[in-house]
Chain A
Amino acid sequence: MTEALIVRGLDKTFAKPAVMDLDLTVHAGELYALLGPNGAGKTTTLRMVAGLTKPDKGEISIFGVDAKADPAGAKAITAWAPDEAMIYDKLTPLEYLEFVAGLWNVEPKAAKARAEALLSKLGLESEARRRCEGFSRGMKQKVALAGALIHDPKLLILDEPLTGLDAAAARLVKDMLQERVDAGGTVILTTHILEVAERMADRIGIIAGGRLLAEGTLDALRAQVGGMGAGGGKDGSTLEDVFLQLTATPAPVSGEAVA
């Protein structure tokens, strides 16, 4: 199986340790949900993968490209969409997509066609030539998502992609992500909406205190919690039950995470 992302021994300390000896593997063509309580180290981990934060230690490989040795190569096949949309208020969606396509050196003709298709798909066709400054948060998120997809990345990383979206927009984004995975793309996302992870994710990683507590399918996570006793891990238990059970217990010593 091709691995989309391999993270080994990742460490990052700011004022206090944010990520500690983290190992993570995401298979190509899967939707991977990275879950954890606030301050668990999810965003720091993903920022390191996206090349925004330099790790203190550890290795990151994206589709076989060593992110440390060839950062531009790794970035060329990756897209990062944080919870706060990285857009310019004074640009229109079309102008924004033109700029992003330029950054990733997408051929102009193809970029324009792709931009129009993405805006149409996201329901922003009529807003394509209006400046983003008057847009709602949800609309800005959609523009940012279009920006993340304009260069057709092999690995799409989204930090809280559904924050601030109304029900219709959230459904649209979820459908787009699912379509992308169905078409062979790889998506990593963080979310606090556990139902989304439960329904959409092929595999789930749970992180707390900068360490990976558990990783695997929902069934695998249930099994792990079952092994912990205390009434958890029943077949019918939800991801929320599993998540709360896992994050309520002290973090295991490094290396105990299950795959």
Chain B
Amino acid sequence: MNLAAPGSILWLLAHEMRLYWRSFRGGRAGKGARGLIGLTIVGAMMIAGGVLIALGLHGHDIPINPLSVSIAALASAVIFTLMLSQTLSASSEALYDRGDLDLLFSSPIGPAKVLLVRALGVATGVATIFLMVATPLLLPTVLYGHPGWIGLFGVLAALALAATAAGLVLAMALFALIGPRRTRTVAQVMAALVGAGFFLVSQARSILGQQASSSVYADIMQRSQEGRLNPPPFADLPLRAMLGQPLPLLALLGGAAALFILSARALGRRFSDAAAAAQGATTSAPAKAGKGPARAFSGGVFLATLRKELLLIGRDAALLSQVLLRVLYLIPTALVLSRNASHGTGAALAGGAGVVVFLAGQVAGSLAWITVSAEEAPDLLSVSPARIATLRRAKLAAAWLPVALLLALPIAVLAWFAPLAAIWTTLGAALAAWSSGLINVWRQRPGKRSEFKRRGGASWVATLAEMLVSALLAGATGVAVAGFAVWGLIPLALAGLVLLSLRRSDAQIAKALRLR
């Protein structure tokens, strides 16, 4: 029997992988050499880090005790939630993203098989991302004295399978509970919440005011020192599997694979029904007939564009989920900052101010990238007599406004307890948001919103520059809040230099966009 015969699971999987690879390659057309250089540099840096880890761990074995078991289990749980965030999002998208779904469902291939292959594609995609990070960092250690640690990769594969099964079940449950119109939005929001889950949980105690600076890790360490750490039964499975013990590894892989196959097979028929229902569903609100006359039109290019961008940001769940993830980090950090100010904890205040500035830059950057690059009707703007500068200002304002609204309350609280820190934080956040917006204008890469579900379509120069400038401004703010404002001028100047090096004139932007 030919396992890869047309219509078989392997054959379908090969088809999926070919499409995935071509879309991956297609997104980088013309960027081959530069992309390769960038990847080589990043890869070399990671391998160097991996070699250092291997040298550091050579001759050291990890003991299996309550502390190591708890840390391994915690790490596995964190990775699982991060993976679940992606698989939930991918599973819900699989229902709406038509692609070749209609072709497959109209063929004699059973829906369970189609779903199984789709799910395998999701699991492979998620596992690949984690393996790409883990391999250069951990392979040197595996090769240099710890061959058993190859089990780490098996654990990652098992986690990917389990996360895919959970993502599928969650997406289908949402579909059954709230219907096709809302599932997409709710799934994307849930994915963001799950992704930031551990951070939110770890910050919950700080926000609620129990301990100013406690973390789950610190808690585990303290319990371990006091001999109060008692991991539950089977909690040692992940660690034993990571260390290459065959039975635990097989148990994890087997369990995850069984979960995966069971969920894919059980949901197969429902998946095809749900996909068909999703096709007919719209996410539009029902017509509000008989609700009286529509409100007045806003006049002028700036106001009309600002309103349009804010409406589009608010209505695109997939795009919002990317931003939401950062917002979910921003809000608790800003609240902790305000709380630290009221408790007068200086160092924490400076650190918190820096984090708020960094995240403000990141959120503004994400939104600016959406408003500037993901324009759905660029020709409409081009044929209009509107000045490009006005359009741009409106688009950036739409990116900055939500950040300002998000930060308004925490900054107001901060201003009450520590006015100077509030001034520095406001200045830093405004500068970071402004810089990120400008970078996205200078390094814009137009594309459809549908292509921007993951930020892969964005310029990597813009993404890296945004992070660097936000980090430098965060450093400057932190130093200033700590009372050393003069020293803050150094990162500030560096940020300015980075911005200057990225600056492009309108003519250069147009040339880069090949509009001329």
Encoded as 1 (CB less than 8 Å from any B CB) or 0, chain A from 90 to 127 comes to 11101100111111110111011001100000000011
The interface-forming segment of B235-243, B286-294, B472-480, B484-492 is B286-294
| Nearest neighbor of A103 in chain B, beta-carbon distance | B384
Q: Measured between C-beta atoms, what is the minimum distance from B246 to chain A in Å?
A: 52
Contact for A126 among B287, B297, B304, CB less than 8 A:
B287
Q: Contact: A98 with B304, CB < 8 Å?
A: yes
Bound: A86/B124 CA distance, A: 37
Bound: A178/B297 CA distance, A: 29
The interface-forming segment of A24-32, A76-84, A206-214 is A76-84
Residues of A within 8 A of B311 (CB): 90-91, 95
Task: Report, as a range, how many residues of chain A touch the other chain.
Answer: 35 or more
* B387 contacts chain A at the CB level, 8 A cutoff: yes
Q: Beyond A51-B382, A52-B383, A103-B384, is A133–B297 a contact (Cβ under 8 Å)?
A: no
Contact for B300 among A50, A54, A105, A112, CB less than 8 A:
A105
* B305 contacts chain A at the CB level, 8 A cutoff: yes
* B233 contacts chain A at the CB level, 8 A cutoff: no
Q: Measured between C-beta atoms, what is the minimum distance from A102 to chain B in Å?
A: 2
Contact for A131 among B282, B303, B308, B383, CB less than 8 A:
B282
Residues of A within 8 A of B301 (CB): 102-103, 105
Bound: A115/B298 CA distance, A: 13
Q: Contact: A112 with B294, CB < 8 Å?
A: yes
Q: Beyond A86-B379, A102-B300, A104-B385, is A134–B282 a contact (Cβ under 8 Å)?
A: yes
Q: Beyond A133-B284, A134-B284, is A72–B380 a contact (Cβ under 8 Å)?
A: no
Bound: A72/B285 CA distance, A: 37
Q: Beyond A88-B377, A95-B308, A130-B285, is A103–B386 a contact (Cβ under 8 Å)?
A: yes
Bound: A98/B311 CA distance, A: 12
Q: Contact: B312 with A111, CB < 8 Å?
A: no
Q: Contact: B304 with A103, CB < 8 Å?
A: yes
Residues of B within 8 A of A128 (CB): 287, 294
Q: Measured between C-beta atoms, what is the minimum distance from B278 to chain A in Å?
A: 12
| Nearest neighbor of B387 in chain A, beta-carbon distance | A72
Q: Contact: B286 with A133, CB < 8 Å?
A: no
Q: Measured between C-beta atoms, what is the minimum distance from A233 to chain B in Å?
A: 38
Residues of B within 8 A of A134 (CB): 282, 284
Q: Measured between C-beta atoms, what is the minimum distance from B302 to chain A in Å?
A: 8
Q: Contact: A102 with B304, CB < 8 Å?
A: yes
Q: Beyond A72-B387, A90-B316, A133-B283, is A107–B299 a contact (Cβ under 8 Å)?
A: yes
Q: Beyond A91-B312, A111-B297, A134-B282, is A104–B384 a contact (Cβ under 8 Å)?
A: yes
Residues of B within 8 A of A116 (CB): 294
Bound: A101/B312 CA distance, A: 17
| Nearest neighbor of A115 in chain B, beta-carbon distance | B297
Bound: A51/B294 CA distance, A: 33
Contact for B315 among A90, A108, A129, CB less than 8 A:
A90
Residues of B within 8 A of A50 (CB): 383
- CB < 8 Å A-B pair total: 119
* B454 contacts chain A at the CB level, 8 A cutoff: no
Residues of B within 8 A of A108 (CB): 296-299
Residues of B within 8 A of A90 (CB): 311-312, 315-316
Q: Contact: B379 with A130, CB < 8 Å?
A: no
Q: Give how many B residues have a beta carbon under 8 Å from the other chain's beta carbons.
A: 37
Bound: A54/B507 CA distance, A: 13
Bound: A109/B376 CA distance, A: 26
* A75 contacts chain B at the CB level, 8 A cutoff: yes
Residues of B within 8 A of A39 (CB): none
Q: Contact: A99 with B376, CB < 8 Å?
A: no
Encoded as 1 (CB less than 8 Å from any A CB) or 0, chain B from 191 to 229 comes to 000000000000000000000000000000000000000
* A87 contacts chain B at the CB level, 8 A cutoff: yes
Give the residues from 108 to 160 in chain A that come closer than 8 angstroms, CB to CB, to chain B: 108-109, 111-112, 115-116, 126-131, 133-134, 147
Q: Measured between C-beta atoms, what is the minimum distance from A104 to chain B in Å?
A: 6
Residues of B within 8 A of A111 (CB): 297, 299
* A73 contacts chain B at the CB level, 8 A cutoff: yes
Give the residues from 229 to 287 in chain B that come closer than 8 angstroms, CB to CB, to chain A: 282-287
Q: Measured between C-beta atoms, what is the minimum distance from A147 to chain B in Å?
A: 7
Residues of A within 8 A of B385 (CB): 71-73, 75-76, 103-105
* A195 contacts chain B at the CB level, 8 A cutoff: no
Q: Beyond A72-B387, A101-B297, A108-B298, is A91–B308 a contact (Cβ under 8 Å)?
A: yes
Residues of A within 8 A of B515 (CB): 54
Q: Contact: A98 with B307, CB < 8 Å?
A: yes
* B381 contacts chain A at the CB level, 8 A cutoff: yes
Q: Measured between C-beta atoms, what is the minimum distance from B299 to chain A in Å?
A: 4
Q: Contact: B380 with A102, CB < 8 Å?
A: no
Q: Measured between C-beta atoms, what is the minimum distance from B383 to chain A in Å?
A: 4
* A89 contacts chain B at the CB level, 8 A cutoff: yes
Give the residues from 63 to 118 in chain B that come closer than 8 angstroms, CB to CB, to chain A: none
* Residue with the greatest number of chain B CB neighbours at <10 A, chosen from A90, A108, A131: A90
Contact for A109 among B287, B296, B386, CB less than 8 A:
B296
Residues of A within 8 A of B288 (CB): 129
Q: Contact: B383 with A80, CB < 8 Å?
A: yes
| Nearest neighbor of A94 in chain B, beta-carbon distance | B294
Give the residues from 408 to 427 in chain B that come closer than 8 angstroms, CB to CB, to chain A: none
Q: Measured between C-beta atoms, what is the minimum distance from A126 to chain B in Å?
A: 6
Residues of B within 8 A of A52 (CB): 379, 382-383
Give the residues from 57 to 76 in chain A that come closer than 8 angstroms, CB to CB, to chain B: 71-73, 75-76
Q: Measured between C-beta atoms, what is the minimum distance from A83 to chain B in Å?
A: 12
Bound: A94/B287 CA distance, A: 12
Bound: A49/B294 CA distance, A: 35
Encoded as 1 (CB less than 8 Å from any A CB) or 0, chain B from 108 to 144 comes to 0000000000000000000000000000000000000
| Nearest neighbor of A113 in chain B, beta-carbon distance | B297
Q: Contact: A130 with B286, CB < 8 Å?
A: yes
Bound: A82/B378 CA distance, A: 12
Give the residues from 1 to 60 in chain A that come closer than 8 angstroms, CB to CB, to chain B: 50-52, 54
Q: Measured between C-beta atoms, what is the minimum distance from B170 to chain A in Å?
A: 24
* B60 contacts chain A at the CB level, 8 A cutoff: no
Bound: A63/B390 CA distance, A: 26
Bound: A130/B289 CA distance, A: 10
Residues of B within 8 A of A51 (CB): 382-383
Q: Could you list 17 A-B pairs, sorted by A, with CB under 8 Å?
A: A52-B382, A79-B383, A80-B383, A82-B379, A94-B294, A98-B297, A99-B304, A99-B307, A99-B308, A104-B385, A104-B386, A116-B294, A128-B294, A129-B288, A130-B284, A130-B286, A133-B284
Chain A interface (Cβ within 8 Å of chain B)?
A: 50-52, 54, 71-73, 75-76, 78-80, 82, 86-92, 94-95, 98-105, 107-109, 111-112, 115-116, 126-131, 133-134, 147
Chain B interface (Cβ within 8 Å of chain A)?
A: 282-289, 294, 296-301, 303-305, 307-308, 311-312, 315-316, 376-377, 379-387, 515-516
Known: A50-B383, A103-B381, A131-B284. 9 other contacts (CB 8 A): A52-B379, A80-B383, A91-B312, A102-B298, A102-B299, A107-B299, A129-B287, A133-B282, A147-B380
Enumerate the 6 nearest inter-chain pairs by beta-carbon distance, A residue then B residue, closest first. Answer: A102-B304, A134-B282, A131-B284, A103-B384, A108-B299, A86-B377
